[in-house]
């Protein structure tokens, strides 16, 4: 069994910052790419940022410069530092990780989501 548990969401004023964390636990041999997605009401889930096991990060264009993704492989944890938050950043943020178990092919897992609310 694998679990991804997110934390760090909440209410922030426009221009403020939040740091999201996502810790993976369970029957894990290793983790490939980890990432953050978000979904606003009435919209599709979209990629925010992703980071490989080696630390190469990719960002959706609109988040470059404001958001920073990082990970701690020893802790099976990925972080998302979000600065200069705007009302359009308001959404439920989901953690995603490609988990490698001892047996079987790598599989994607999702966290339960954490709400980010930005007041104007």
pLDDT at 117 over 90: yes
Instruction: Give the model confidence (pLDDT) of 26-74 as tens digits.
Output: 999 999 999 999 999 999 999 999 999 999 999 987 666 899 999 999 9
Instruction: Give the model confidence (pLDDT) of 62-113 as tens digits.
Output: 666 899 999 999 999 999 999 999 999 999 999 999 999 988 899 999 999 9
- Residue-level pLDDT at 32: 97
- Residue-level pLDDT at 55: 96
- Residue-level pLDDT at 118: 97
pLDDT at 2 over 80: yes
3-state secondary structure the chain: CEEEEEECCEEEECCCCEEEEEEEEECCCEEEEEEEEEECCCCCCEEEEEECCCCCEEECHHHCCCEEEEEEHHHCEEEEEECCCCHHHCEEEEEEEEEECCCCCCEEEECCCEEEEEEC
């Amino acid at each position: 069994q694998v679990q991804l548990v997110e934390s760090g969401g909440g209410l922030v004023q426009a221009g403020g910052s939040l740091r999201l964390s996502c810790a993976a636990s369970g029957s894990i041999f290793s983790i490939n790419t980890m990432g953050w997605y978000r979904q606003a009401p009435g919209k599709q889930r979209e990629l925010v940022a992703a980071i490989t096991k080696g630390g190469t990060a990719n960002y959706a264009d609109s988040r470059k410069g404001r958001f920073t993704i990082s990970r701690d492989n020893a802790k099976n944890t990925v972080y998302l530092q979000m600065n200069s938050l705007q009302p359009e950043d308001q959404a439920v943020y989901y953690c995603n990780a490609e988990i490698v178990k001892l047996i079987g092919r790598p599989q994607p897992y999702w966290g339960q989501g954490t709400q980010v609310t930005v007041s104007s």
